[in-house]
Amino acid sequence: MRILQVASEAVPLCKTGGLADVVTALSQALLDGGDDVRVLLPAYRGLLERVEIERRFELGDPLGLGVPARIACATLPGTRVHAWLLQCDPLFDRAGGPYVDEQGRDWLDNHLRFALLARAAATLALASAPMGWAVDVVHAHDWQSALVAGYLAWWGRGRAATVLTVHNLQFAGRFAPQLLGAIAAPPSSYAPAGLEFYGQISLLKAGLVWADRVTTVSPTYADEIRTPEGGIGFDGLLRHRGAAVQGILNGIDDRAWDPATDAALAQGYDATRLGDKRVCRLALQRELGLHEQDDAPVLGLVGRLTWQKGIDLMLGGIDVALAQGAQLAILGSGEPELEAALAARVAANPGRVALRRGYDEALSHRIFAGADLFLVPSRFEPCGLTQLYAMRYGTPPVVRRTGGLADTVRDEDEHPGAGTGFVFDAPEPGAFAAALQRAITTWRDRPHHEAVQRRGMAGQFGWARGAAAYRRVYEEAIAAARAESV
């Protein structure tokens, strides 16, 4: 099967969150299973210098912007995955992030930047196969590429099949309806059964409405987004799509994330050499300026510092553990008020709370390895990758029972002798604190803690199962697209 993945991020070229890990690891797993895959990604500033360009293809001006676009063909570094980098310098060659400028403000022309990505994908997926590679299915990810399903549906018969994966429904790609013409959407698409969304347009909705299949990243999140509370305005549409909507649990790249071979760590270890993990713990304490203490647990947290991630819940419930000597190692960046509240905790707890602001892939590995317990107190979590990395690194997670966290972590007290972590229900500091206390009590009982660690490390979180599930969805989508064109 020939699959065109279309995404705004893919490791190792560009990453702001889990989407980037998923796109590359899924593509590699599909490739390993015998499928043919290309990843279409914007050529943000500096990307082209990091790859070897094998050929270029002139795409013309697919959106009528008056500026030409082209595809640079390369391979994602460190993988065998073919990348098609969409070059359009006025839109993508800028200092700043993929979505925001250097001040953290959304780029004002994001509608054009990502409409171009979707339009390029639709053009490349035409039956005429402009690049000499006939596409069976286009797999779009999140709002930044969802419009491809709209373009192909509007162009009509004989089209490639389309699949949209929602990595986070909260990001709906909302813009003013006056921009409809600029993104080359027909006026008739501004309708409740189209792009219209509470008086605006939502680019995500193009995929929710027109993709042959819609997936999200865990079975529980697939259920949650079909309820009024979790569906944030899209639940009716998602219920209406019926069996076309499914949840497929994300995997992880278990070669890149292996504590036995991880080059970022001071010392490799595996489930039979858990003692060696303590070298990583001590190295982490040194690196972050935490007291080199052995008799208090080190709690790790890596991620976006946002309301969604429950950082305020954690701050509200952490004091009892800190008073007992626990240490906290945090890596991330996000909402200024939460960053400020965390900075205040650092100041109040020298040597016991450390915060590294910003994005640091290698340090994230060292936190997964060096911490004793890992915190994921999210209010909602479509899948979540950090709890999977933590379990793989023998660091039992404390998580809220929501989305993919509910699907991947088994509470040790609810399932004595079978748990892989600790789970709480209410999105409240007290519920988090109680679960953390249970985790710390278990940590103090070393053989018990080691049993929980080993179970987490034995988990099968690779992509083989997920890739097989996506392959089935692609087949369904191809059948649905064919049925439509008969």
Residues of the shown chain interacting with ligand ADP in the complex, contacts defined by CB under 6 A: 17-19, 21, 168, 302-304, 331-333, 359-361, 364, 383-386
Nearer to ligand ADP, 24 or 442 (CB): 24
Rounded to a whole number of angstroms, the minimum distance from the CB of residue 478 to ligand ADP is 28
d(CA 251, CA 218): 10
* Closest-CA residue to 400 (of 331, 308, 329): 308
Rounded to a whole number of angstroms, the minimum distance from the CB of residue 304 to ligand ADP is 5
List the alpha helices (DSSP H) in 328-463.
Answer: 336-348, 361-370, 386-392, 403-408, 429-444, 446-457
Rounded to 5 degrees, what are φ and ψ at 301? -150, 125
DSSP code for 10:
B
Burial category of 90 from C-beta neighbours within 10 Å (exposed 0-12, middle 13-18, buried 19 and up)? middle
| Contact call for residues 421 and 442 (beta carbons, < 8 A) | no
Nearer to ligand ADP, 112 or 353 (CB): 353
* Closest-CA residue to 160 (of 28, 329, 6): 6
d(CA 387, CA 435): 15
Q: Per DSSP, what are the bridge partners of residue 3?
A: 37, 137
Rounded to a whole number of angstroms, the minimum distance from the CB of residue 20 to ligand ADP is 8
Rounded to a whole number of angstroms, the minimum distance from the CB of residue 114 to ligand ADP is 17
Q: Which residues contact 339 (CB under 8 A, 6 or more apart)?
A: 305, 333, 355, 357
d(CA 449, CA 461): 21
Nearer to ligand ADP, 151 or 374 (CB): 374
d(CA 422, CA 432): 10
Please report which helix (H) or strand (E) contains residue 428, including its range.
Answer: none
Nearer to ligand ADP, 200 or 333 (CB): 333
- Minimal CB distance to ligand ADP: which residue? 18
Rounded to a whole number of angstroms, the minimum distance from the CB of residue 305 to ligand ADP is 9
Which residue is listed with tokens 């954690």?
314
Tell how strand 82-87 and strand 69-75 pair up: antiparallel
Nearer to ligand ADP, 246 or 364 (CB): 364
Query: Interhelix angle for 429-444 vs 446-457, to 10°?
Result: 110
Rounded to a whole number of angstroms, the minimum distance from the CB of residue 77 to ligand ADP is 17
* Closest-CA residue to 39 (of 87, 84, 92): 84
Rounded to a whole number of angstroms, the minimum distance from the CB of residue 139 to ligand ADP is 18
Nearer to ligand ADP, 304 or 438 (CB): 304
Q: Per DSSP, what are the bridge partners of residue 57?
A: 71
Rounded to a whole number of angstroms, the minimum distance from the CB of residue 302 to ligand ADP is 5
Nearer to ligand ADP, 42 or 251 (CB): 251
d(CA 480, CA 152): 14
Rounded to a whole number of angstroms, the minimum distance from the CB of residue 483 to ligand ADP is 34
DSSP code for 160:
P
Nearer to ligand ADP, 154 or 171 (CB): 171
Which residue is listed with tokens 């080359």?
184
Rounded to a whole number of angstroms, the minimum distance from the CB of residue 146 to ligand ADP is 17
Rounded to a whole number of angstroms, the minimum distance from the CB of residue 441 to ligand ADP is 26
Nearer to ligand ADP, 15 or 94 (CB): 15
Query: How many Cα atoms occupy the beta-carbon half-sphere of 231 within 13 Å?
Result: 15
Q: How many helices (H) and strands (E) does the chain have?
A: 18, 18
Which residue is listed with tokens 């996506």?
470
Rounded to a whole number of angstroms, the minimum distance from the CB of residue 359 to ligand ADP is 4
Q: Which residues contact 192 (CB under 8 A, 6 or more apart)?
A: none
